[in-house]
Structure 1
Amino acid sequence: LGAPAAAAPRRGPGGRAVAVLGGGVAGLTAAHELAERGFDVTVYEKKAPGGKARSMDVPGSAKGNRRPLPGEHGFRFFPGFYRNLPDTMRRIPFPGNANGCHDNLVPSTEVMLARIGHEDIRLPFRSVGKPPPVLTPDALRRALTGLFDALGNIPAHELAYFVGRLLVWFTSCDRRRDAAWERVPWWEFIRAARMSPNYQRLLAIGITRNIVATKAEVASTRTVSTCMEAFVFTALGRGADGEPDRVLNAPTNEAWIDPWVAHLRSLGVTFRVGWTVRDLTLAGGRITEAVVQDPSGARQAVTADHFVSAMPVEHARTTWNARVRAADPALARCDRLQTDWMTGIQFYLTEPTPVIHGHVNHIDSPWSITSVGQAQYWPGRDFRADYGDGVAADCLSVDVSEWDRPGILYGKTAKQCTREEVAREVWAQMKAGLNDTGRTVLRDSALHSWFLDPAVELGGPRPANDEQLLIHPTGTWYDRPRAKTAIPNLFLCGDYVATDIDLATMEGANASARAAVNALLEAAGSAAERCAVTPLYRAPELGPARAHDEARYRLGLPNALDLG
């Protein structure tokens, strides 16, 4: 290939040199687990450690001795049903914290569904009351009804139907979930097209966006219901690491990513930042080198005993050439996996503007906006004194999930707008939902500045986004690879790799990295302890119902609770 042999990881005895290709949550997790087991690890990362999870400095925003304003690809939240990622966070030292970075997680206490032309809906977490001691289907029905009845304005018979559909999922066996419900859109599973507008907006779209961050009309029932089930059990106090919704008590890099990288360096991990993986070389049935481009633009040949591909799928698959794909046909199926734009923009305000102590789902916004006021969660920091120019007092962080529908100001999709137009449009859509009930929540005079994710390129004929999000249309579960490939020294991790959570999340990235490390340990003949991979919680009381459904599925019968 003409690439010089350089920048190779240190070669350890017994085949213990590992090149981790990608430094997001998956790559950092893999490096962490391998370094703890004595492997020599080098991480190659194109942009910055942390990937889409990182926070970033707003260029030119700092004055005096302050830090730059904190920007990010999109806000981070850590549901209580995450189990693997919190375990990793406990193992990252942080000054003054007994449980490391895990102690930097703080709970939100409520969520808001901001309506346009309707009263906003504020829901406290833990509103279910005392959870039932035994989750029989009937007890679960009552708990679910109480949980979703708090939304209000949904006809009783429609709410009852929705709860019934959830019970069908809760009592479905794994084979039905994988074979049947994976092929059915969530919108169809809950019969949203037949229901009232409030049912569609609140139950079909609103909850889905808040919990799963995906589109109800195309997302598979398997994906949505898996996370819905996990969230319900967390709300009921079952199988949770913590409160239903948690965020960090400082910008992400300060509270988590920077301490993580420092800890990995202390374990001997080497970082090559600014290095882009271009290709993998296969010879003799194994990967012999990764071809990377260094910060100067020169190509380098990286050799190692083992290679862990930890890049997002849209980038990873560009490194799998024809010979690599021929060696493992499962890699070619990844071409069918789809990504979409879900990108963040931050608004910096001259006055504290928390809105609520939690996330806001701007449920009627054309661009599917969600937001959270961040400074309220950072008690050890004075925003004005610590960040920016001393004028900005808060950061309203926003995720934009829909980039292909016209907005309300310019009649253009987000992809057709300039960056300035996107900022104006998002601000207008938020005001439309928050300022329409008799009080002014967002004031134009308080808007200091904004920062749109630099991965997005707008204003030209071909808009681009270098950091997209895996989406989950029906049937795509079957195209997702496992961590172990048919190539004995190549392993995959990332939120596209098949894991129990079945959703593009930090938890999925972390769990897949643990699976990749376990496969690598097996291939290396290592006696090191395997990584724990904790599955999502399943209520044991519902085991008999799932077993009964397994028998019905084999006979070609529907779930016993599936009344159509």
Structure 2
Amino acid sequence: MPLPDEHPAHDGITRRRMLYGAAAAGAAALLPVPSAHAAPGRKRKVAVLGGGMSGLAAAHELVERGFDVTVFERKALGGKARSIPVEGTGKGGRKDLPGEHGFRFFPGFYRNVPDSMRRTPFPGNANGVHDNMFPLSSTRISRNGGRSDIIVPELTGPDGGGLDLAVLAETLTGLVEQAGALPPEEIGLFVNRFIVYVTSSEERRLGQWENVTWWDYVQAEGKSEDYRAIVARFLTRGLVAVKEKVASTKTVGAMGQAFLLSGIGLGADGGLARMLNAPTNEAWIDPWVSHLRDRGVRFEVGQTVEALEIASGRVRSVRLVDAAGRRRSAAADWFVSAMPVERARALLSPAVLALDPGLESIKDLHTEWMNGLQFFLRRTPDGIPEEVNFMDSPWQLTAVLQSKLWDRDIPAEYGDGNVLDSLSLDISDWDTPGIVYGKPAKQCSPAQVAEEAWAQMKDHLEDTGRSVLPDDLVHSWFLDPAISWDASAGRNSNAEPLMVNTVGSWAKRPHPRTEIPNLFMAGDYVRTGVDLATMEGANESGRAAVNALLDAADSPAEQVQVWPLYQPPELDGLKEIDARRFQAGQPNLFDTK
């Protein structure tokens, strides 16, 4: 069911098919042709403004439908998903060590991104880049304060053979501790809140839960510390990088439902979660860009979009500036803005807003920080599986151990030959004071960020007396260069923040099709079924922008397939009841708490 105020996809015979059918019958001369349409024999030009996830997805779909596509990118193709080589670290013919904006994690409910990956060739892979993903087989949910961790599902010894009784014992102990940490009434409360959400109609999700914070929805105030840590903080900051006291319940609930359903094989492209078998650029971005170039897409990197130039009620051209300050204009028939929200705001000139005043609400969207930090290691540490969630860390750290994911010989291929492994972190909370300096990450120098993150991991992994991360393990570290330290101000800035879904933010997010006839919006902040700033949401928005462009261009090309989040049909009846109850001003049938 399309959400209210969305532009639903057209079914059956569309206007453009009628027009082209008439043309085939000899009546094309009677049909008005918009001024932006190209002359006969010339491909219509599309300027894609931004080469991140949404821009690459849009370019992919457009070039396959016969458009002449140029992508203008300010910094680097791939956006927040790209690898970032650590310059100067490669020695003896090796490549530079691979840094990341943050490690790549593909939940099973992603379906739009996997489709693009299947259609991107990769040597030796039957399913293209898609075959470079593989299921995450082990994760550790780590607690501090001497509490046992939960390690699932990998219970084998380090050589992969036989049952590791110590790991099994710790996992069982951790499960019992987690179950015992929450009072029965709090467990019942959370189960009730989850049932209320999954049986809520789309009307209630948008009309009620969009305007309620997750903290209030799960009634975290006054509950036990473990309830607040697990149900409120971990399910928001740890999994979807939003803050529980400002995040929309519509968003957090939708992601929780999607994770649960994909875990039991419903609406999923793969298992619960997948990872890449190599650095992101090698496994995905570089092959994608190469494929698009082969199809005819032109990429102009180092070109910052400075302004949309308006004439006759349309976008005539974009003004570009390069690193040397040289300016020029680039004209096109159609324009897809695929830049992140903080950069798209800069294009909202009075001339643009005069044509579409609704775009001004983009300025009210909120961003937070979620950036990567890599520790390059001299040895592979014991006791760390593929992925670790540091549940009680103030900075809400998650990490992956690359040697257990990549099919690469790290010391032979990267760095100076002394780096045997990489522990790649995502820092999801930059506003909570840490345990070493008592300052939030925003107020720590890069060296302090690294020291603090290392200490928070040790606080979880070494709280029972074992040694997992001895300090001599660290060869070097690399912080996402989007983070810039101002020593005089004692603060960091972030050139690549992440849009987060706060209560009521849905109404402020733009549609893919604007009121400007030849301007379309893509990006993880645009309204999509994946109601979260993710690779999947960005990819879906690129597809939606192309579909809107096809409609506006009266193109005969087939619309791009878009996969919505899976909704179990078994719940349709309860949702229909809830829709009637919501319209009548009544609570959800199960909302008794």
TM superposition score normalised by structure 1: 0.92
> Does 1:550 pair with 2:579?
yes
User: Displacement of 1:463 after TM fit?
Assistant: 2.7
CA distance in structure 1 between the aligned counterparts of 2:264 and 2:153, rounded to whole angstroms? 10
Partner of 2:525: 496
Q: Which letter maps to 2:84? A: M
Measured after TM superposition, the shift of residue 408 of structure 1 is: 1.7
Out of 412, 424, 427, the residue aligned to residue 385 of structure 1 is 412
Equivalent of 2:459 in 413, 426, 432: 432
SS at match of 1:412: coil
Q: Residue 363 of structure 2 aligns with which residue?
A: 335
1:449 aligns with one of 454, 476, 483: 476
Could you tell me which residue of structure 2 aligns to residue 319 of structure 1?
347
2:540 match: 511
- Structure 2 unpaired stretches of 5+: 1-37, 156-174
Structure 1 residue corresponding to 2:374, chosen from 339, 346, 349: 346
Asked whether the 8 Å contact 1:349–1:446 carries over to 2, the reply is yes
Quick one: distance in 2 between partners of 1:561 and 1:362?
33
Correspondence 1:164-563 to 2 at 5 A: 164-353=192-381, 355-379=383-407, 381-460=408-487, 461=489, 463-563=492-592
Is contact 1:383–1:393 with CA below 8 Å preserved after alignment? yes
Deviation of 1:208 after TM superposition, in Å, equals: 2.5
Deviation, structure 1 residue 209 = 3.0
- Letter matched to residue 554 of structure 1: Q
Task: Say which SS state the counterpart of residue 177 (structure 1) adopts.
Answer: helix
Q: Which amino acid aligns with 2:492?
A: P
The 1:13/1:457 distance shift into structure 2, 3 A limit, reads farther
Bigger mean CA deviation after superposition, 370-379 or 10-19: 10-19
Which of the numbers 95, 98, 107 marks the counterpart of 2:135? 107
Distance 1:459 1:309, change over 3 A: same
Question: Take 1:61 and 1:154, find their aligned partners in 2: how far apart are those partners?
Answer: 48
Aligned to 1:35: 63
SS of the residue aligned with 1:463?
strand
Q: Cα deviation per residue 1:343-372 (whole Å; 9 max; x = unaligned)?
A: 111000011137443322212212221111
CA deviation profile, 1:447-469 (whole Å, cap 9, x unmatched): 00000011111133253111000
Residue aligned with 2:80, SS: helix
Contact between 1:354 and 1:373, CA under 8 Å: does it hold in 2? no
In 2, Cα distance between equivalents of 1:507 and 1:149:
35
8 Å contact from structure 2 (residues 135, 271) kept in 1:
yes
Does structure 2 conserve the Cα–Cα contact (< 8 Å) formed by 1:309 and 1:492? yes
Instruction: Determine the C-alpha separation between the residues in 2 that align with 1:266 and 1:288.
Output: 28
Indicate the SS of the match to 2:541.
Answer: helix
Q: CA deviation at 1:263?
A: 0.1
Q: Deviations over 1:47-82 (max 9, x none)?
A: 111000000110111000111100011111000000
What secondary structure does 1:406 align onto? coil
Partner of 1:130: none
1:93 aligned partner, one-letter code: P
How many angstroms apart in 1 are the aligned matches of 2:40 and 2:90? 44
Deviations 1:310-329 (A, max 9, x none): 00000011012111012112
Q: Whole-Å Cα distance in 2 between the matches of residues 103 and 63 of structure 1? A: 30
Which entry has the higher C-alpha Rg, 1 or 2?
2
Measure how far apart 1:339 and its partner are. 0.5
Distance across 2 between alignment mates of 1:13 and 1:223: 46
1:89 aligns with 2:84: no
Q: In the alignment, is the contact (CA less than 8 A) between 1:306 and 1:489 conserved in 2?
A: yes
The structure-2 alpha-carbon separation of the partners of 1:166 and 1:12, relative to structure 1 and needing over 3 Å to count, comes to farther
Matched position secondary structure for 1:457: strand
Higher mean C-alpha displacement, 202-211 vs 393-402:
202-211
Q: Secondary structure at the match of 2:221?
A: helix
Q: Could you tell me how far apart the structure 1 residues matched to 2:535 and 2:382 are?
A: 25
After superposition, the C-alpha distances for 1:383-410 in whole angstroms (9 at most, x for unaligned) are 1111101001111111112222222222
The code of the aligned residue for 1:338 comes to H
> What do residues 483-530 of structure 1 show as CA deviations (whole Å, max 9, x unaligned)?
000001000000000100100000000001000001111111100010
CA distance in 1, matches of 2:150, 2:83: 28
The alignment-based identity, stated in percent, is 52
Does structure 2 retain, via aligned residues, the 8 Å contact 1:419–1:459? no
Alignment of structure 1 residues 16-55 onto 2, 5 Å: 16-55=44-83
Instruction: Read off the aligned partner of 1:518 and give its amino acid letter.
Output: N
| Residues 493 and 126 (structure 1), Cα distance of their counterparts in 2 relative to 1, 3 Å cut | farther
SS in 1 for 2:300: strand
Q: What SS does the corresponding residue of 1:202 show, helix, strand or coil? A: helix
Alignment partner of 1:194: what SS? Answer: coil
Which residue matches 1:5? none
* 1:151 to partner: Cα distance: 4.5
Cα RMSD, aligned residues only: 1.8
SS at match of 2:107: coil
- Could you say what secondary structure the match of 2:316 adopts? strand
| Range with bigger deviation, 412-421 or 257-266 | 412-421
In the alignment, the residues of structure 2 paired with residue 311 and residue 548 of structure 1 have an alpha-carbon distance, to the nearest angstrom, of 40
Which ranges of structure 1 fall in alignment gaps of 5 or more residues? 1-9, 128-147
Q: CA deviation at 1:236?
A: 1.5
Equivalents in 1 of 2:510, 2:42: separation in Å? 28
CA distance in 1 between counterparts of 2:288 and 2:40 reads: 23
Q: Aligned partners of 2:255 and 2:146: how far apart in 1? A: 28
Residues 123 and 235 (structure 1), Cα distance of their counterparts in 2 relative to 1, 3 Å cut: farther
Contact 1:110 1:356 in 2 (8 A): no
Please say if residues 12 and 39 of structure 1, whose CA atoms lie closer than 8 Å, have aligned partners that are also in contact: no
| Contact 1:89–1:101 (8 Å) recurs in 2 | yes
In the alignment, the residues of structure 2 paired with residue 378 and residue 470 of structure 1 have an alpha-carbon distance, to the nearest angstrom, of 29
Which residue in 2 is equivalent to 1:137?
none
TM, length-normalised to structure 2: 0.87
TM-superposition CA deviations, 1:242-298 (whole Å, max 9, x none): 011111000000000000000000000000011100100111110001001123320
Task: Indicate if the aligned counterparts of 1:113 and 1:206 stay in contact, CA closer than 8 A.
Answer: no
User: Contact (CA 8 Å) 2:72, 2:304: kept in 1 or not?
Assistant: yes
Any idea what SS the aligned residue of 1:440 has? coil
- The one-letter code of the counterpart of 2:466 is R
Using the TM superposition, give the Cα deviation of residue 124 of structure 1 relative to its aligned residue in structure 2, in angstroms: 2.5
- The size of the alignment, in residue pairs, is 534
Q: Indicate conservation of the 8 Å contact 2:238/2:391, yes or no.
A: no
Does structure 1 conserve the Cα–Cα contact (< 8 Å) formed by 2:386 and 2:405?
no
Kept in 2, the 8 Å contact 1:416–1:459? The answer is no
Alpha-carbon contact 1:12-1:40 (below 8 Å) kept:
no
